[in-house]
Structure 1
Amino acid sequence: MKRRLLLALAMMAGLVCQAQTQAHAAQRELVIGVEDLEYYPLYAMRDGEYVGAMREIVDAFARAKGYKVTYRPLPIKRLYAELVGGGIDLKMPDNPNWGTDVKAGLKVAYSKPMVSYIDGVLVRPGSVAKPVEQFATLGTVAGFTPYAWLDRVKNGTVALKENPRMELLLRQTVVGHVEGAYVNVAVAHHVLNSILNMPGALVFNPMLPHSRDFYYLSSVKHADVVAEFDGWMKDNAQLVKDIKDRFGAEKGGN
């Protein structure tokens, strides 16, 4: 009888241990919602794989902390819906100033800044002296908000024209369909140089309204993971810098 009791207790302990292990394993899995855009060197989808500097940073964190990360590419508007609805664990990139209407009433945890950037206007070299008062059209990638130009867009001074892809937007700007492209400066130069083979076809005009800011990791569900990520970034600042430098992620953003 005693032997049977001990055997039963051992089996129960084994089952509890197994359940705890499975629960722990489940806790270590993270689904990160990402933008399904060509935004290299920051991020992009290549042959079904999410690549770029921001993935490299998160992958290094995940390896160090034992997380299994799944990157889920989504259109920007759907990405916000998934963040709010709990369909993803974290969103990357994010910013406290983005999607404020969608996030209203929610407690969103944001990481410390991951990558700095400039969003500004690229124009044809011959138009670099054109003042802001003479702009009538501005192009953006669909889903992105040109915060530095919002007042002019809202009062109808400038017409906003959206394009689904960065490459198409830049081509439109080169041929004059829009007067300027409001884009991430580092990403736009990469696309011009490496994808479109049009180096120098457009230039950043720092005299026009632009934004200097940062990309963050965010979560509605896992403030603890965001805090853990912050601690890891602080302890591995040189590694994070090396990744950003290797990709050229902050070119034009400092």
Structure 2
Amino acid sequence: MNSFKVIASIVSRLAIVFFIVAGSYSRADTVVIGTQNFHYYPHYDFTSDNDKGLAWAIFEAFRATTNHEFVYISMPVLRLQKELAKGSVDFIYPDNPKWYNPIISNTLKTFSRPVTKALGGTILRPEKVGAGINEIRRLAMPLGFTPVNWQERVDNQLTHLIQVNDTLNALELIAKNKADAANLEYHVTQHIASQQPTLGKFTLDPKLPHDGVAFMLATINHTELLAEFNTFLVSHQALIKRLHQQYQIKSPEIILNNLSDQYY
């Protein structure tokens, strides 16, 4: 993958610059980052042996400016919070102070600046855009996600929630007409659809429930390193922008405006 080579080149150049400036390299401290263990590419896929997505590229670019070694451990969502509480991992990703979890109070955690923003929303066939929310009677959603924007309709039995293992399973249900729509992340959907062309085309209806959400790095004890990461995000905005372009990740605002212009 050409973009992967470009990213590797960027990281390598940053590392060279750091070592020249630092003069000498001491033995690296190991930083353990706990990550969700499912395919969420292009945002992240830390189960991959190669390109692990945008977040990984940003973390590795930051690592190249430090004397730390980063180790990524993938695990289920709730276990992430447990391991952070125990101190088995130093950071977890992604996290957000608005997300509820029954393990750790968010007041005990320190969160980074947004690493990126995701767009979760109502994914359906392009020809179904504009039909309205009453046409969504069967909604697929991956396990571990909460149907916040759909909860009232689910409670009132206006929409039946179908829980699936992952994004691919949700898209397969739409393709087989076993679901009217799915609550999924836009970029992840488009990536999977491009890899599975037999499923057909999918889009997001900008007038149906959707949310832009920030993905952040979180820690309990390593606030100094987190502050360094925040400084990196601010001081390397050109690099961050370039990596977003490499992974074809756009802001929720741009996507919603483009879709509104296209369909409405």
TM-score norm. by structure 1 comes to 0.81
Report the alpha carbon displacement of residue 171 of structure 1 after superposing the two structures with TM.
0.9
1-structure distance, mates of 2:220, 2:159: 35
Tell me if the contact between 1:121 and 1:180 (Cα under 8 Å) persists in the aligned partners: yes
Q: Structure 2 vs 1, CA of residues 159 and 97 (structure 1 numbering), >3 Å: closer, same or farther?
A: farther
Shift of 1:77: 2.4
CA contact (8 A) 2:46 2:72 kept: no
Structure number with greater Rg is 1
Other-structure match for 2:97: 96
What is the TM-score when the length of structure 2 is the normalising length? Answer: 0.79
**Corresponding position: 1:39 with 2:40:** yes
1:153 and 2:154 equivalent?
A: yes
Inter-partner Cα distance in structure 2 for 1:207 and 1:124 = 14
Residues in 2 aligned to 1:84 and 1:161: alpha-carbon distance in whole angstroms: 32
Partner of 2:247: 247
**What SS is found at the alignment partner of 2:83?**
helix
Q: Does 1:162 find its partner at 2:163?
A: yes
**Identity over aligned pairs, percent:** 25
Q: What amino acid sits opposite 1:213 in the alignment?
A: V
Q: What is the CA RMSD across the aligned residues, in angstroms?
A: 2.2
Structure 2 CA distance, aligned partners of 1:72 and 1:93?
A: 13
Match of 1:64, SS state, is coil
1:57 counterpart SS class: helix
C-alpha separation in 1, matches of 2:251 and 2:188: 9
- Tell me how far apart the structure 2 counterparts of residues 154 and 63 of structure 1 sit (CA, whole Å): 49
- How many equivalent pairs are there? 229
* Equivalent pair of 1:186/1:252 in contact (CA under 8 Å): no
Question: For the Cα contact (< 8 Å) 1:186–1:253, is it kept in 2?
Answer: no
Counterpart of 1:32 in structure 2: which amino acid? I
Cα pair 1:121 1:208 within 8 Å, conserved: yes
Structure with greater contact order relative to length (CA < 8 Å, sep ≥ 6)? 1
Tell whether the 8 Å contact from 1:115 to 1:250 is kept in structure 2 after alignment: no
Comparing 124-133 with 227-236, which one deviates more in the overlay?
Answer: 124-133
Q: Which runs of 5 or more residues in structure 2 are unaligned?
A: 1-25, 255-264
2:155 and 2:229 mapped to 1: Cα distance?
38
2:112–2:217 contact (8 Å) kept in structure 1 = yes
Tell me if structure 1 keeps the 8 A contact 2:122–2:205: yes
Identify the residue that residue 111 of structure 1 maps to in structure 2. 112
Contact 1:83–1:220 (Cα < 8 Å) also in 2: yes
Determine helix, strand or coil for the equivalent of 1:70: strand
- Counterpart position of 1:3: none
